[in-house]
């Protein structure tokens, strides 16, 4: 049975996979994201998120129990928003989230999500592949009262770019160009292609990772 392992604490990614018919095992890595970002300062956004996704996937593979590592797929992802050449991750504070919104409001940004997929068999990585997906997001201009209320919910503090497409932040997104699931943090079309590269079908994952009733 090929178990699907999601190397992320993101509720958005977990919900996306559940709605897509699979219940992954969630294993969160202890990767120092800030150190990786600092080391890659000035590098292309796609390379930064790819490096973060790779580090997470590889670390999660090291943390797996033997029974899971006997036959599983590990997914590592990381998302960041680029607006005007400036790359932003999770703001963490209301002040930082407000600053990100002040920069993005009324503009278009690129949401980059790095994906790394590992095929693990008998406790070792038997294959791996990855790619970065990019979706253009057109931000609205929320009224000050609305922005204050949104920031007060806490939702934007822990998501890349200080917004969600599938949550409260969706009120303030005018449109997108590209894959919406990539904005949520995991591109389903891209994941399907990466799984195919490793010889794993969506049908096999559905059969082995059914959501709980």
Q: Which tokens belong to 197?
A: 């590269």
C-alpha span between 170 and 164 (Å, rounded):
6
C-alpha span between 118 and 92 (Å, rounded):
29
Nearest residue to 3 (alpha-carbon basis) of 76, 55, 64: 64
- Partners of 125 in the β-ladder: 120
Active site residue 78: yes
Given a contact cutoff of 8 angstroms between Cβ atoms, the answer to whether 55 and 80 are in contact is no
Cα separations in angstroms, 133 against 16, 22, 178, 204 = 16, 21, 9, 24
Residue 41 is classified by DSSP as T
C-alpha span between 172 and 165 (Å, rounded):
9
C-alpha span between 113 and 165 (Å, rounded):
14
Alpha helices in the chain (DSSP H): 11-19, 33-39, 45-63, 66-69, 94-104, 144-153, 180-184, 188-197, 202-208
Given a contact cutoff of 8 angstroms between Cβ atoms, the answer to whether 205 and 22 are in contact is yes
Q: Which of 65, 78, 146, 174 is catalytic?
A: 78
Q: Which residues does the annotation mark as catalytic?
A: 78
């Amino acid at each position: 049975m090929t178990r699907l392992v999601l190397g992320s604490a993101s509720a958005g990614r977990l919900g996306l996979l559940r709605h897509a018919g699979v219940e992954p095992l969630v294993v969160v890595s202890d990767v120092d994201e800030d150190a990786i970002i600092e080391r890659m300062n000035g590098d292309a956004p796609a390379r930064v998120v790819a490096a973060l996704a790779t580090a997470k996937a590889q670390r999660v593979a090291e943390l797996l129990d033997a029974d899971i590592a006997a036959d599983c797929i590990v997914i590592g992802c990381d998302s960041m928003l680029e607006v005007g050449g400036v790359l932003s991750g999770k703001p963490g504070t209301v002040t930082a989230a407000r600053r990100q919104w002040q920069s993005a409001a009324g503009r278009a940004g690129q949401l980059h999500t790095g994906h790394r997929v590992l095929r693990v068999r008998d406790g070792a990585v038997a294959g791996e592949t990855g790619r970065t997906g990019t979706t253009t997001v057109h931000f609205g201009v929320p009224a000050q009262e609305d922005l204050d209320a949104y920031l007060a919910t806490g939702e934007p503090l822990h998501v890349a770019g200080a917004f969600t497409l599938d949550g409260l932040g969706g009120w303030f997104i005018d449109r997108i160009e590209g894959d919406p699931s990539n904005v949520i943090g995991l591109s389903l079309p891209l994941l399907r292609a990466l799984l195919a590269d490793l010889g794993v079908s969506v049908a096999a994952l559905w059969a082995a990772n059914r959501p709980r009733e």
